Amino acid sequence: MASEAYLAANRQAQRAYRAAINKGEYPYLSALDDFLLYEQTAGEKYIGLIEIPLDLVVGTKTAGRQNSFANNFMPLLDEETEFSHKWASLYNAQVEEGIRDPIVVYEYMRRFYVMEGNKRVSVLKSLNAVKISAKVTRIVPKKTEDAENKIYYEFMDFYEDSQIYDIWFSREGSFKKLKRYYGYKPGDRWTEESRTALRSEYSIFRKEYKSKGGDKLHMTTGDAFLAYISIFPAWQLQSFHRDQVRENLTKMWDEFVTLAQSQSVKILLEPQQKEKPASGLSILNKIIGTEILKQLKIAFIYEKAVGDSAWNYAHEMGRLYLEQIFGDKVKTTVYEHAEYTDNSEDILEAAIRDGNKIIFTIAAQLANASVKTALQHTEVKILNCSTNSVHRAIRAYYCRMYENKFLLGVIAGALSETNRLGYIADYPIYSTIANINAFALGAQMVNPRVRVQLRWRSLTDGAGLEEWPQDVRIISDMDWIRPGNPTRKYGLYQIRGGEIENIAASICHWGKFYEQIVRSIMEKTWKAADEKNKNRAINYWWGISAGVLEIVCSQKLPEGTRLLIEMLTKNIRRGEFSPFDGTWTAQDGKVVNEANHRFDLEKIFQMDYLAENIDGLIPGLDELKDEAKEFVQLQGAF
Cβ atoms of 257 and 535 within 8 Å: the answer is yes
Computed over every residue of the chain, the mean pLDDT equals 91
- Over residues 582-599, mean pLDDT: 88
pLDDT score of 326: 96
Residues sharing a CB contact under 8 Å with residue 166, sequence separation 6 or more, in sequence order: 53, 199, 202, 203
Q: Which amino acid is at 452?
A: V
**Beta-strand runs (E) in 72-200:** 103-108, 111-116, 131-141
pLDDT of 20 strictly over 70: yes
Q: Which amino acid is at 482?
A: R
- Over residues 182-198, mean pLDDT: 94
563 alpha carbon, distance to own chain's centre = 39
Q: What is the DSSP letter of 79?
A: S
Share of the chain above pLDDT 90, in %: 76
Task: Enumerate the β-bridge partners of residue 266.
Answer: 538
Q: Is pLDDT larger for residue 285 or for residue 242?
A: 242
Q: Which amino acid is at 58?
A: V
- Over residues 410-420, mean pLDDT: 97
The residue count for the chain: 638
The model's pLDDT over 418-471, given as tens digits with 9 standing for 90+, comes to 999 999 999 998 889 999 999 999 999 999 999 999 999 999 876 667 789 999
Single out the residue of 286, 287, 333, 336 nearest to residue 308, CA to CA.
336
Confidence of residue 590 (pLDDT cuts 50, 70, 90): very high
C-alpha span between 370 and 328 (Å, rounded): 27
The model's pLDDT over 272-311, given as tens digits with 9 standing for 90+, comes to 876 555 444 444 444 444 444 579 999 999 999 998 888 9
Cβ atoms of 20 and 70 within 8 Å: the answer is yes
Q: Is pLDDT larger for residue 380 or for residue 273?
A: 380
Q: Which amino acid is at 560?
A: G
C-alpha span between 300 and 137 (Å, rounded): 56
pLDDT score of 79: 87
pLDDT score of 276: 54
- Over residues 14-37, mean pLDDT: 95
Confidence of residue 1 (pLDDT cuts 50, 70, 90): confident
The model's pLDDT over 100-143, given as tens digits with 9 standing for 90+, comes to 899 999 999 999 999 999 999 999 999 999 999 999 999 999 99
Identify which of 287-301, 326-340, 594-608 has the greatest average pLDDT.
326-340
